[in-house]
Chain A
């Protein structure tokens, strides 16, 4: 084991891991973080805490991660390179780790253009690949990115994202290979609706043996409505929602659509379980966290392993 991370232990046991997500509040009330996470207790192995997601200011991901840790839920501390330079990022990694946060996710983050501070400077001192390198170097060499020794280095289990559906598709396996080369331990993918395309990507991943070097958690987001399906299809960059999914959602009455969305999510998980190289699921139920237990249960992912 490289770290004390619960997620690492679950993955090492060979069990399919389950993670979910919780966006911190746009204000100071700590209970809001805890309430969201409580819905997930016992149903997932770790909970991602987003970092100023969609470039909107929220409670910092390290602070919200610590709140989760305090109630005994394991956070995946997300860090985007958009908002901080390498000094601030390393300081936050050390700070979070000193409070028991041992699992993190390295991202570049949405451009400020999409958020409510489009006038902000976007930092990008490092990109996501370089952040992976930095965190791995802190852990494995006990050195800061700048090269000096760390007095008791943080030992993070290091994750990153992959979007098999972004363009150019032919590059997407190579991009994963690059993150693997940087030392990433696990990957959470973009939400998967186009399973055939995902399968093609996984074939490429397995062909190169990357699935033996990194744990891939398949991204799942249940659709609440046909409107959401259309929005994701047409408006969210890098999202691939096939027409038959939209039609299937449109084909049931509005009050039945949430149920249909859950059904699609569960069916997707069932099919993904059969794919070589899929080591777990990252279930992002956006502002719909209360449905995660149902999905996990229906998909036969219970009980979660005791570690």
Chain B
């Protein structure tokens, strides 16, 4: 899923301070699962903002709504009767959601309340780790199911580098060395020799380097 963390309160306050009526919009998808922008977090942020502004002697009118999916125009359409009553929109979705709102309600300023961080998986309760960088040409089938692009600090395709120490990355003892993981997994699969196959220079066009990407499914597109 897409993970996010909430922006610092001061930054959010600075964004909305010039306005009197805020539409605070959550999302029921990824940011809800990682407990940063779902219904509950929308309510918490609304209360915190109201309290902050009350202390300053200002009554902030905050309307709360959590959409099923903020990156989907169909759901974003649900805001159509609410935007008139707001001076600005504060979104708790990932950057995709924020931009879908900004694209639809062009006359309203939209601010992100979270920093979108990475595509990751849950390791355990409350811990998420980056797993995919969406390079557009998946290599997991030859790297034992562990992604060197997302999980090696140098995104080495032919690792490990000389800084792998006791299974950890040289930049942080809390980060696993991706190539140690790959090696362990290849061994478990009896595919040790594969580590000597050179992974050729990557064609980054399928990644961000080919320009902003788009998928058009002719069978589905209307």
Contact = CB atoms under 8 A, between A and B. Distances in A.
A110 B159 CA distance: 14
B220 to A, nearest CB: 34
A237 B173 CA distance: 11
Interface string B132-155: 000000000000000000000111
A238 B180 CA distance: 14
Q: Which of B180, B183, B198 has the most A CB atoms < 10 Å from its CB?
A: B198
Nearest to B197: A178
B170 A238 contact: yes
Given A111-B171, A127-B154, A127-B156, A238 B164 contact: yes
Interface stretch (A63-71, A166-174, A261-269): A166-174
B158 A171 contact: no
A86 interface: yes
Interface in B189-222: 192, 195-196, 198-202, 204
Contact of B162 (A126, A161, A177): A161
A108 interface: yes
A303 B179 CA distance: 43
Contacts of B204: 125
A168 B164 contact: yes
Contacts of B157: 127, 129-130
Contact of A174 (B155, B163, B196, B202): B196
Contacts of B195: 171, 174-175, 178
B196 A167 contact: no
B162 A145 contact: no
A129 B183 contact: no
Given A174-B195, A238-B170, A124 B162 contact: no
Given A111-B171, A125-B204, A178-B196, A167 B166 contact: yes
Given A111-B171, A174-B196, A238-B170, A124 B164 contact: no
Given A86-B201, A133-B201, A181-B198, A166 B154 contact: no
A118 to B, nearest CB: 9
Contacts of A162: 162
Contacts of B120: none
B37 interface: no
A34 interface: no
Contacts of B201: 86, 125-126, 130, 133-134, 145
A237 B153 contact: no
Contacts of B202: 125
A82 B167 CA distance: 22
B143 to A, nearest CB: 13
A113 B200 contact: no
Given A113-B171, A171-B195, A82 B165 contact: no
B177 A167 contact: yes
A33 B84 CA distance: 67
B133 to A, nearest CB: 12
B154 A111 contact: yes
A279 to B, nearest CB: 20
Interface in A14-56: none
A5 B157 CA distance: 29
A174 B161 CA distance: 13
Contacts of A167: 160, 164-167, 177, 180
Q: Which of A82, A162, A167, A238 has the most B CB atoms < 10 Å from its CB?
A: A167
A103 interface: no
Contacts of A82: 154
A122 interface: yes
A163 to B, nearest CB: 3
Nearest to A179: B158
Given A127-B157, A129-B198, A166 B165 contact: yes
Given A86-B201, A166-B165, A237 B170 contact: yes
A86 B153 CA distance: 19
Interface string B22-44: 00000000000000000000000
Given A124-B154, A237-B162, 16 more contacts: A86-B201, A108-B154, A111-B170, A127-B158, A130-B157, A130-B158, A130-B199, A130-B201, A133-B200, A133-B201, A167-B177, A168-B167, A171-B183, A175-B160, A178-B195, A182-B198
